[in-house]
């Protein structure tokens, strides 16, 4: 999961009795009290719509920008939009990017804060049905196109949506995606694990690597605590079951079943899904797909890669970028024009020694990090 996390814990889990109701600062002097420190308040609206598969809740931040797609996110199992995306979307460098887009954060049914537990026997939607709920969200908001950002199960759902509605998806950022259905070997392993592990432990095994789990850092303890004590744990288990029963997305390079838009595949270098993401990369159109492997999903690296991804789609004019980013972009742009071929497959990988991101084949290395 993410690194450099400002807050992993959704507001309802935070001790708030002594803190400021607006910004939750525990300090006597803080942003809401000092005019000079006051941050502009985010316009945030929560909506629910009825769909053929039940109601779905989503939260909108910002206002629609003319001629720009919305950024639409879908979270992973065991999380909701806030616990999954708040660290990324509230990351400092991310602000200059997202302020140019309206954001729609979908919560899978029963995962939104305060969601009641579904009654016994409730038929939770399959991942394909969850994908089929998205058109209702976009229709309600009157949005025609999106750039999707999904993690794990959410990445699968957005991919399925893009396969079904290619004209409405301008780009996809897919983090830790596993596009394959579970084979019988996976099922056997899953059943065996289920005999000895609780649902929260199995979900933690999906979100984190074994190394991370055995390290039992503060971060892991926080997630373990959140999931184990979630009042909607029964709902979480239903989403988890739908994830494990997913169909194969059946991507085929050069075939009919493929993503038509630019795709940025992202995987943490210790993530349990590394092989699946690598295989996914091999099945997608190399002219449309970038592959980014980031150690521990560092937010700075991810933000930077996202910036270039949007820029590749013509959405981040260099005038929107910081001076530092602009100078880096200049080298990226010139390298791309020397190459004269914008449509090749790109592998972005983080060099552990220099701490840089490089892109493209040897000889076309583009330094994009500090």
Residues that bind ligand BEZ (CB under 6 A): 42, 61, 82, 85-86, 89-90, 98, 103, 105
CB of 209 to ligand BEZ, least distance (A): 25
Which lies closer to ligand BEZ via its Cβ, residue 1 or residue 284?
1
CB of 52 to ligand BEZ, least distance (A): 27
CB of 100 to ligand BEZ, least distance (A): 12
The H or E element that residue 138 is part of is helix 127-141
CB of 76 to ligand BEZ, least distance (A): 14
CB of 63 to ligand BEZ, least distance (A): 12
Which lies closer to ligand BEZ via its Cβ, residue 73 or residue 329?
73
CB of 45 to ligand BEZ, least distance (A): 12
Radius of gyration of the chain from Cα atoms? 20
Which lies closer to ligand BEZ via its Cβ, residue 95 or residue 210?
95
> Which residues in 167-194 are b (16+ Cβ under 10 Å) and which e?
ebbbbbbbbbbbbbebeeeeeeeeeeee
Which lies closer to ligand BEZ via its Cβ, residue 90 or residue 365?
90
Answer whether 266's CB lies under 8 Å from 163's CB.
no
CB of 265 to ligand BEZ, least distance (A): 22
CB of 18 to ligand BEZ, least distance (A): 23
Beta strands in 131-191 (DSSP E): 146-151, 169-175
Q: Collapse the DSSP code of 330 into the 3-class scheme (helix H, G, I; strand E, B; otherwise coil) and give the result.
A: helix
Which lies closer to ligand BEZ via its Cβ, residue 74 or residue 89?
89
How far, in Å, CA of 153 to CA of 176, rounded?
9
Which lies closer to ligand BEZ via its Cβ, residue 46 or residue 324?
46
Which lies closer to ligand BEZ via its Cβ, residue 62 or residue 135?
62
How far, in Å, CA of 174 to CA of 284, rounded?
12
Answer whether 73's CB lies under 8 Å from 111's CB.
no
Biggest distance spanned by C-alpha atoms of the chain? 61
**How far is CA 364 from each of CA 157, 252, 348, rounded to the nearest angstrom?**
34, 28, 12
Q: Which residues are registered as beta bridge partners of 81?
A: none
Which lies closer to ligand BEZ via its Cβ, residue 81 or residue 239?
81
- Sheet of strand 54-61: strand arrangement: 44-51, 54-61, 103-107, 70-74, 146-151, 169-175, 263-268, 289-294, 346-350, 357-359
Q: Of 39, 168, 43, 157, which is closest to residue 102 (Cα–Cα)?
A: 43
């Amino acid at each position: 999961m993410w690194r450099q996390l400002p807050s992993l814990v959704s507001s309802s889990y935070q001790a708030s009795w002594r803190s400021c109701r607006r910004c939750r600062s525990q300090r006597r002097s803080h942003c809401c009290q000092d005019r000079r420190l006051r941050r502009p308040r985010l316009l945030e609206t929560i909506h629910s719509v009825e769909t053929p598969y039940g109601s779905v809740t989503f939260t909108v931040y910002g206002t629609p920008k003319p001629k720009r797609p919305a950024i639409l996110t879908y979270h992973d199992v065991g999380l909701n939009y806030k616990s999954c995306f708040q660290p990324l979307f509230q990351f400092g460098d991310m602000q200059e990017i997202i302020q140019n887009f309206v954001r729609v954060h979908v919560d899978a049914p029963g995962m939104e804060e305060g969601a009641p537990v579904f009654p016994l026997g409730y038929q939770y939607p399959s991942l394909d049905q969850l994908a089929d709920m998205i058109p209702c969200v976009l229709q309600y908001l009157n949005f025609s196109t999106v750039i999707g950002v999904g993690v794990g199960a959410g990445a699968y759902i957005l991919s399925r949506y893009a396969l079904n509605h290619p004209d409405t998806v301008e780009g996809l950022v897919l983090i830790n995606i596993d596009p394959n259905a579970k084979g019988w070997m996976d099922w056997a392993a899953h059943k065996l694990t289920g005999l000895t592990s609780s649902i929260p432990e199995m979900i933690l095994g999906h979100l984190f690597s074994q190394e991370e789990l055995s390290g039992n850092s503060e971060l892991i303890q926080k997630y373990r605590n959140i999931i184990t004590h979630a009042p909607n744990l029964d709902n979480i288990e239903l989403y988890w079951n739908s994830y494990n029963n997913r169909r194969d997305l059946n991507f085929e390079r050069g075939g009919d079943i493929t993503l038509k838009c630019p795709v940025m595949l992202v995987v943490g270098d210790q993530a349990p899904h590394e092989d699946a993401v690598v295989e996914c990369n091999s099945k997608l159109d190399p002219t449309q797909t970038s592959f980014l492997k980031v150690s521990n999903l560092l937010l700075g690296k991810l933000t930077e890669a996202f910036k270039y991804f949007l820029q590749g789609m013509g959405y981040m004019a260099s005038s929107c970028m910081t001076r530092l980013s602009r100078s880096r972009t200049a080298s990226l742009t010139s390298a791309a024009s020397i190459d004269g071929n914008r449509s090749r497959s790109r592998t972005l990988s983080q060099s552990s020694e220099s701490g840089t991101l490089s892109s493209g084949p040897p000889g076309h290395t583009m330094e994009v990090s500090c």
